[in-house]
Each structure stands twice: as structure tokens, then as C-alpha cells.
């Protein structure tokens, strides 16, 4: 509908725009972020401020959360049109409802939340990821993203789960304790003490 509104605007069809804008805001499909963005832009171009508000509210409450890349993109689009309240609402839904299976997508969603100043929601998502995220194939870039959104404590908690799946080196490297554990660790998790060959007698 965004392109149709654009064509009508170019043709000077003001009466038809007035009739179509409310329908576009309330019935347009919300399946693709770029389509929502195009429609928002055209509604704004034709001065349909009330419809812009209605569409951003729909997007924040009804947009599906199964595609995290799409959610991240929509957050940025809503931010660009100044829909701060709706950004907060969508980010809050994502932080509490999304599944955490795709760590790369979670990473990018955290980045988008940081870009749109959804800091509280990013922290909430990071707090969920710390105990729930699978760590056997964890990309440590996610840990850095958690730090960047101010969730350093949650990142540390997630990194602390790495040794249990045989990834002690990555855990130590992330925590900055590489020198402390240069000789390995004891079964209780403490740093292994230094030793000499005479200790083996």
C-alpha cells in the first residue's frame, strides 16, 4: 500500500489518499519490515500523522517475533520515524518473548536495541540469555555485544558456563584471567598452582 499511496500523492489524488490512509494503517500486512517502513514514509509524506501513529502502534504490538532479523530491522525503522514509545513496546516484547535458538540473530537484536536506546530491554534480553543460551557452540561475539549494551554481569555469567562444555580457554580469555589460569585449573575451578618436576616425585 505504500507504493500505491506514493503513486496517488504524485498524481495529486488527495481525496483518494484521505480514503485509503486509514485503511492502510489498520489493515496493511506487517510481514516485512521494509514494507512497513515504506508505508510509514508515505503516510508521513501525505500528512497522515494519525495513521502513522496507528500503524506504528500496530507494528509494536502485532509484528511477529519469529524472525529476529526482521524485528531488529523494524526497531530501527520505528526509531527513524520518531516512534520512540513504539520502539520501547516492541523491544520489551522481544526481550521477554523471543526464542534464543539463533545466537547470531540475538546478537544483532541486541545491537539494534543499543542503536535505538532500548537499554533496559537489552539488559532484560541479556539476563534471559545468560542462563538459557546454549553454550556448546556459543559465538563469543555475543558476549561482547552483551557488554556493549551494559550487561557485563550477564555476559560474565554466560561465559562462566563455558567450562562445563569444555570451553575453558574461551571463558578465561573473555574474563581477562588468562594469566591467572596459565597453568590450567583445579577440579574446583581455582587456578592450578605452579609446579616443578620435583613435585612429581
Residue 185: strand pairing partners = 191
What's the pLDDT score for residue 72? 93
pLDDT band at 198 (very low <50, low <70, confident <90, very high): low
Res 119: pLDDT? 92
Q: Write out the chain in H/E/C secondary structure.
A: CHHHHHHHHHHCCHHHHHHHHHHHHHHCCCCCHHHHHHHHHHHHHCCCHHHHHHHHHHHHHHCCCCCHHHHHHHHHHHHHCCCHHHHHHHHHHHHHHCCCCCHHHHHHHHHHHHHCCCHHHHHHHHHHHHHHCCCCCCCHHHHHHHHHCCCHHHHHHHHCCHHHHCCHHHHHHHHCCCCCCCCCECCCCCECCCCCHHHHC
pLDDT at 151 over 70: yes
Name the band, by pLDDT with cuts 50, 70 and 90, for residue 180: very low
Q: What distance in Å separates the CA atoms of residue 37 and residue 46, rounded to the nearest whole number?
A: 14
Looking up cell 496517488 gives 8
pLDDT, tens digit, 9 for 90 and up, residues 53-75: 888 999 999 999 999 999 999 99
Mean pLDDT for the chain? 77
pLDDT (0 to 100) of residue 86: 94
Cell reading at 107: 546478537
Q: Cα angle vertex 103, ends 164, 96, to 5°?
A: 100
Q: What percent of the chain has pLDDT over 70?
A: 70
* Selection from 45-49, 95-99, 127-131 with the highest mean pLDDT: 95-99
pTM: 0.73
Nearest to 64 by CA among 97, 39, 108: 97
Query: Does residue 136 register a pLDDT over 90?
Result: no
Which band of pLDDT confidence, cut at 50, 70 and 90, is reported for residue 195? very low
Amino acid at each position: 500500500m505504500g507504493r500505491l499511496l506514493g503513486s496517488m500523492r504524485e498524481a495529486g489524488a488527495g481525496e483518494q489518499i484521505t480514503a485509503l490512509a486509514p485503511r492502510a494503517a489498520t489493515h496493511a500486512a506487517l510481514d516485512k519490515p521494509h514494507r512497513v517502513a515504506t508505508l510509514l514514509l508515505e503516510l508521513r509524506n501525505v500528512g497522515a500523522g494519525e495513521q502513522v501513529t496507528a500503524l506504528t502502534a500496530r507494528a509494536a504490538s502485532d509484528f511477529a517475533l519469529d524472525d529476529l532479523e526482521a524485528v531488529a530491522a523494524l526497531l530501527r525503522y520505528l526509531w527513524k520515524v520518531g516512534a520512540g514509545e513504539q520502539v520501547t513496546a516492541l523491544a520489551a516484547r522481544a526481550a521477554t518473548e523471543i526464542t534464543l535458538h539463533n545466537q547470531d540473530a540475538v546478537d544483532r537484536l541486541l545491537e539494534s536495541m543499543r542503536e535505538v536506546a532500548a537499554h533496559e530491554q537489552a539488559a532484560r534480553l541479556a539476563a534471559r540469555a545468560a542462563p538459557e543460551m546454549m553454550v556448546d557452540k556459543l559465538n563469543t561475539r555475543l558476549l561482547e555485544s552483551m557488554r556493549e549494551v551494559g550487561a557485563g554481569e550477564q555476559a560474565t555469567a554466560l561465559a562462566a558456563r563455558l567450562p562445563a562444555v569444555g570451553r575453558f580457554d574461551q571463558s578465561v580469555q573473555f574474563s581477562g584471567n588468562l594469566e591467572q589460569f596459565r597453568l590450567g585449573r583445579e577440579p574446583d575451578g581455582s587456578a592450578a598452582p605452579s609446579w616443578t618436576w620435583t613435585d612429581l616425585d
